[in-house]
A and B are shown apart, each in its own frame.
Chain A
Amino acid sequence: MSEHHDHHQDDTPHASFSGYMIGFLLSVFLTAIPFWLVMGGVFESKGTTAVIILAFAAVQVVVHMIYFLHMNFHSEGGWNMLSLLFTAVLLFITLFGSLWVMYNMNVLMMPGMM
């Protein structure tokens, strides 16, 4: 399949039509369902809907990483993945740390405003 490759293309990951199409179709489903859940008011409970659409978003991020950004454990000898995981850890700490700390500050120190 890669006979027509000349040498200077070897440093970029090889993309394929089927890979992009799989990623695209998965993304369409993973985008359409959360919009439908919210716009159609499918579930009574807002908490349930929120958990489900967050899960869909997380899966879609992984789909984009694999099929569009060609992420794997081999590229750059694993450094791509390592830096991504490091970023994900920082992202988690920043997001959930901020929300957790600030929520408790509000509850404990300004009970009248909640």
Chain B
Amino acid sequence: MSQSVAANTNLNFIARDHHAPNGTLFGFWLYLMSDCLIFAALFATYGVLSQSYAGGPTGAELFDLPLVALNTAFLLFSSITYGFAMLQMQQGKRQGTMIWLAITGLLGAAFLAVELYEFSHLLHVGAGPQRSAYWSAFFTLVGTHGLHVTIGLIWLVTLLVQLKKHGLIPENRRRLFCLSMFWHFLDVIWIGVFTFVYLMGSMA
């Protein structure tokens, strides 16, 4: 946005009741930053309790790293497919946007399925959140991330319906952009999870 142009047309902006440019996007960015602080607190909790096994199983004994690598791949691929959806949106192609969005959703669902399988396996071998402070912290941190992905999936399906009904209207473009920030942000959090929890946990 050119400053001088904005200044010259300032009165027009008011007269047409124009939204501040990027208002929603910046607000959503601030939400993501506050969400980041929630995860900071959860990571700190996990870090503090990372040796508190209470005589129970450790992460190193139970983590299945190939499975985690698969999950990481799902999430990383879903990031690039969301990027492709955004590129299709920029070119004004509704069909392409919806296809890439649907692929992103399937990868997100695959991620969740693997994560739920992992959780059920941990519960099955007696490493539930009630076993020790370590597993409480583990399930809270990884579960909160998984909950975010679940909400992202619901949002994604909602947007698919919106796109089907209304097409690439400015409102939907804005929503797609907010979800893209949310989705990429979750991938950034997952970098912290697989490094801090799984990889370092496996070495402990």
Contact = CB atoms under 8 A, between A and B. Distances in A.
B191 A79 contact: no
B126 interface: no
Contact of A38 (B41, B170, B203): B203
Determine the interface band of chain B, counting residues with CB < 8 A from chain A.
35 or more
B44 A98 contact: yes
A57 B43 CA distance: 14
A40 B192 CA distance: 20
A72 interface: no
Contact of B40 (A39, A53, A95): A95
B21 A11 contact: yes
Contact of A94 (B37, B84, B170): B37
B118 to A, nearest CB: 16
Contact of B187 (A15, A35, A64): A64
Interface of A: 4, 8-12, 14-17, 20-21, 23-24, 27-28, 31, 34-35, 38-39, 46, 49-50, 53-54, 56-57, 60-61, 64-65, 68-69, 75-76, 79-80, 83-84, 86-87, 90-91, 94-95, 97-99, 102
